[in-house]
Amino acid sequence: MSGTLLDGFVAIDPGAMTLEHDRMMLDRGLAGMHAWHETFGDRACYVLWDAFGRQVHDRLAGRHIAGGPYRHPVFNYDEIAAALPDLRIVDLAPLLRLPMHEVQRLFVDASNHPSYIGYLLLNGLICDGLDVLEAYERAVTTAESELLDLARKLSQAAGRKVLLTGRSVWLDTFSRYMGATGLQRLTEAGLILAPLDQVPGQRTPAQMVQDVDLAQCAVAVLSAGGADLSVHLASAFGMGATLWSDTPVIDWEYATQATIRGRGEITDFIRLDPNLPLRADALSPVLDPSQIEFGRAGTPSWLGLTGLLRRVAEGAWFRLISGKELWRIENEVLITYNGVAFLTGGNHQTLKYSTGELKPSTESLQIFSDNIEARSQQTSARGIPYMHVVFPDKQSVLVDEFPIHPVVKLGETYLDHISAVAAACTLYPADELRAVDGACMPLDSHLSDTGSLVVLRQMLNAVGVDAPRALSMIEQRIDTPRRWPGDLGGKLDPPPFQEVLTLAPDWELLELNSGGGFNDGMIDILFSPNAPVNQTVLLFGDSFFRMMLKHLSGVFTRVVCLRTRFYHREMVELVDPDIVFTGNAERYLSQVHSDDEAIPFMLYRPLRGIPEQFHPTFLEAWRSITSPRSARSKTYFADQNGMRVNSMPSGAEFLRTMPQASE
């Protein structure tokens, strides 16, 4: 017997697969069936299973349909049936009028081997005498009911829906059994089947979960050979790879090896990728040979499908997902499950520093300390209160929202390494911001106007300015909703929108800006004649200071902000301020440069080739600010009688036109 029943695909010579030989094979097959009919007559019935299956799989693959309806050069189901008019042929033609991605349930593979559903169909047709469509519906319902019941049990075991994914012949076979419509019913039963490798007619993994709250799911992964699919899964589902690397991996293929070799065959696992690293902790179920179809691929039988589903449920071979783990990175922006965006790239490689992959150099730490000490000494010599502000990056404030732990805070790193003198002159208000709801905007790398107010309180306290009524007034005026994508949301496609309350001052205010469309060298001047503190405050810093200029105008009559990473002594001499603040975003601590390397502030524009074309109104204000002791300047300051010029958008709204977070 072993010499008679051989696999028809073994030792085929590809050169013999020609149309001429196909026609000869068809003629020989038809002649053989006529011979059987002469012997058995009506006692025999015939199922043209392979001709039927060939058409199903050809159509699924898009073969032989380019010129219109399906037509194989030789083997066509209707032509073969028509060539055998006297034989009792079980008519499968009505099934060919159904969607092929549903009819594929009848097969376990592309070689037309019948699935459990296929055998139920044949039993209904041959033994029970059912109509073909009736037999098909009964077969599908019988098998699907058992699978849906197992899906519900698995979901109950996990206490939530279960996402079943990965790359394995077991997943391919399960997907075939369900068809497209069955997958939806499976999802409704609590099991989301979304393999990385699409079965024809079914949706992509991302589409399978687009309407699912993954934070309310568990996940189970099958991987041929126990390969680590973390990167592929993260890409397919738009989540971080960390979630997948901690998820149990089930290696079905490895569990089938002994049975396949025991049958005298060589394994051929089509889903095994030898280029991927292996998971040492992969789980391998103990299988009975009856759970594995004949062949080299390790295809699961019906008992293999249902048996593994039971094992996953009973052994809790799944992992619960928490919302914190659902994040993705797009265009250097990390987006959490809750829609909170964090800057990851840019010139300062924020993510690498916040995860500890990169560390600031010893030289940078020392330069920062030396800068702050020198600034403190120079301002003290002039009798000017001074403080430096390190504006915490978003992940340093929203630590619980940020999905990668532990979070390394550059601000803390610097405070731990700088001198006591420098530390006493440095504010790093991460804890204070963390204690206030809404201190950060969801889709922006900057603080909200509420967060800027928190920082302002710390700044005033540090330099001994007591202005409780002004702070209360500012807080009350943070009441105007604004809707825009934010600097991080604007990097996404399509850009999402955030709505945040912004500061809308109701006090008299003159705002002037130097213009020029650049960063370093930009000048902002604000006059607020009714502010409670009749002083000039001079700021050296970046966009975080620019975000809070209106806040400062609620306290000080004159606010001057110079956009620069350095402290410029010559500008302190010119402006003669009452208070000096320097500041920088925390991410700028990746590399600090010495103040000794600063060029004169007023050379920023000419060195960039920007002509000195200041607006006359700004130029008059700048002249007065930089020569405050002159009679003309004193007259100018006295003449600021509440003229209100809204030349600059307020608070967070200003971010729409300012440089982006990658600066």
Q: Average pLDDT over the chain, rounded to whole? A: 90
Rounded to whole angstroms, how far apart are CA atoms 570 and 598?
11
Query: Do 539 and 502 contact (CB within 8 A), yes or no?
Result: no
**Backbone torsion region of residue 595, taken as left when φ is above 0, otherwise alpha when ψ lies between -120 and 50, otherwise beta:** alpha
Mean pLDDT in residue range 286-304 = 96
- Pairing of β 217-223 and β 319-320: antiparallel
> Which among 587, 582, 538 has a CA at the least distance from the CA of 558?
538
DSSP letter (8 states) at residue 660:
P
The answer to whether the beta carbons of residues 585 and 487 sit under 8 Å apart is no
> Strand 523-527 and strand 556-563: pairing?
antiparallel
By C-alpha distance, which of 374, 387, 465, 479 is closest to 429? 387
Q: Note the pLDDT tens digit of each residue in 371-415.
A: 999 999 999 999 999 999 999 999 999 998 888 878 999 999 999
pLDDT at 649 over 50: no
* 162 residue type, one letter: V
Q: What is the pLDDT of residue 102?
A: 93
Q: Is the pLDDT of residue 641 over 80?
A: no
For residue 20, report the phi and psi dihedrals to the nearest 5 degrees.
-60, -45
For residue 1, give both structure tokens.
């017997």
Q: Is the peptide bond between 494 and the residue preceding it cis, with omega within 30 degrees of 0?
A: yes
Per DSSP bridges, beta strands 333-336 and 327-330 are: antiparallel
Tokens 């730490």 -> residue: 365
Contact 542, 549 (CB under 8 A): no
Tokens of 277: 């690293």
Q: Using CA atoms, how far apart are residues 179 and 200, in angstroms rounded to an integer?
A: 9
pTM of the model: 0.61
Is the per-residue pLDDT at 583 higher than 80? yes
Angstrom distance (rounded) from CA 463 to CA 433: 19
Q: What percent of the chain has pLDDT above 70? A: 93
Cβ atoms within 10 Å of 281's Cβ, excluding its own: 9
**What is each CA distance from 551 to 196, 382, 456, 530, 641, in whole angstroms?**
52, 26, 8, 14, 20
Q: Reply yes or no on whether the pLDDT at 643 is more than 50.
A: no
* Number of CB atoms found within 10 A of residue 605's CB: 20
Q: What are the domain boundaries of the chain? A: 26-97, 136-325, 349-656
pLDDT at residue 166 tops 90: yes
Q: What's the average model confidence in pLDDT over 609-622?
A: 89
The residue ranges of DSSP E strands in 136-195, in sequence order, are 161-167, 191-193
Whether the pLDDT of residue 657 is over 60: the answer is no
- 454, 437 Cβ separation under 8 angstroms: no
Residues paired with residue 191 on neighbouring β-strands, in sequence order: 162
Question: Residue 111 carries which side chain, given as an amino acid letter?
Answer: S
Average pLDDT over residues 75-98: 95
- Identify the band that residue 612 occupies on the pLDDT scale cut at 50, 70 and 90: confident
What gap in Å lies between CA 241 and CA 326, rounded to an integer? 10
Span 107-136, pLDDT tens digits: 999 899 999 999 999 999 999 999 999 999
Q: How confident is the model at residue 220 (pLDDT cuts 50, 70, 90)?
A: very high
User: What is the C-alpha separation between 107 and 112, in angstroms, rounded?
Assistant: 6
**For residue 515, how many other CB atoms are within 10 A of its CB?**
14
Q: Residue 652 corresponds to which tokens in the numbers above?
A: 């967070």
Per-residue model confidence as pLDDT tens digits over 298-333: 999 999 999 999 999 999 998 887 666 677 888 999
Quickly state the pLDDT bin for 240 (edges 50, 70, 90).
Answer: low
Residue 459 has pLDDT above 80, yes or no: yes
Alpha-helix residue ranges (DSSP H) falling in 477-568: 486-489, 543-547, 549-553
CA distance linking residue 569 with residue 89, whole number of Å? 99
Give, in order, the Cα–Cα distances in Å from 199 to each of 136, 215, 301, 544: 21, 26, 18, 51
* Interacting residues of 72 by C-beta distance below 8 A, sequence separation 6+: 54, 55, 58, 64
Quick one: average pLDDT of 269-295? 94
303 or 242: which leads in pLDDT: 303
| Locus of tokens 């993260």 | 234
